Amino acid sequence: MAGPPGTTVRIDLRAAAPVLLLGIIILTIIFVELCGKTDVKPLPPGTPFVEGPTATLGPTQTAGPSPTPPPPNETATAAAQVSGADRDEVRVRDIATIRTALEAYKAKHGTYPSTGDGIQTVCTFEQFDKGCAIKETIAGGTVPQDPAGNPGENGYWLQSTDTTYIVYAQRESTLFDQCDKPKPDHLHDFRSILCVHNP
């Protein structure tokens, strides 16, 4: 009932909230009841179950071939396959190259690069080794180094004067004849040696 003219009617929302909430709950129940029902009747007891059609899966992707991993320690394996005879073949070629360079140096300068008849590595220590002088007569300017690496221990050695030379290398196999000169004390750790010399 409206109040006298000019008055305002106020509704207390705190009192209306429970009624509103109750209405929402009732509407929700009715909605669930109406939407949840289906026309499917339960099967009588003892009826065998028959499966309906199943969904067909789409094509599956087959993974491509995976890359073949390299063998472990490939570098170490390759190094292990190089024998002493293989290294000796390289050494014989290298000391022949050094001999040719020494002869070319003498043809140009009139003497061999002299170590004073002492033994030095051919060209491991640039500041000290007299044999480094032959770089000018070698194609590419690089003096060969022993295939075993560590040229300070496994390298090529030169013993020379102005008119003579002997180039030594270690020998690991019987593929080539050993040096016909006495083995210097400096190379006593090697079982046998290879060499080229003049005279």
Q: What does the domain layout of the chain look like in residue ranges? A: 82-198
Token readout for 73 is: 């320690």
Q: What is the pTM of this model?
A: 0.60
Span 29-77, pLDDT tens digits? 877 676 665 555 555 566 555 555 554 555 555 555 555 555 555 444 4
- Report the alpha-carbon distance of residue 150 to residue 145 in Å, rounded: 9
For residues 22 and 94, the model is more confident at 94
Kindly report, residue by residue over 1-33, the tens digit of the pLDDT.
Answer: 555 566 565 666 666 677 777 888 887 787 767
Q: In this structure, are residues 146 and 98 in contact, taking their beta carbons and an 8 Å threshold?
A: no
CA distance 120 to 129: 6
10 Å CB burial of residue 187 (0-12, 13-18, 19+) is: middle
Q: Helix H segments across the chain?
A: 13-36, 74-81, 84-109, 151-154
Give dist(CA 189, CA 150) in Å, integer: 15
Q: Are 184 and 150 in contact (CB under 8 A)?
A: no
Q: What gap in Å lies between CA 135 and CA 106, rounded to an integer?
A: 13
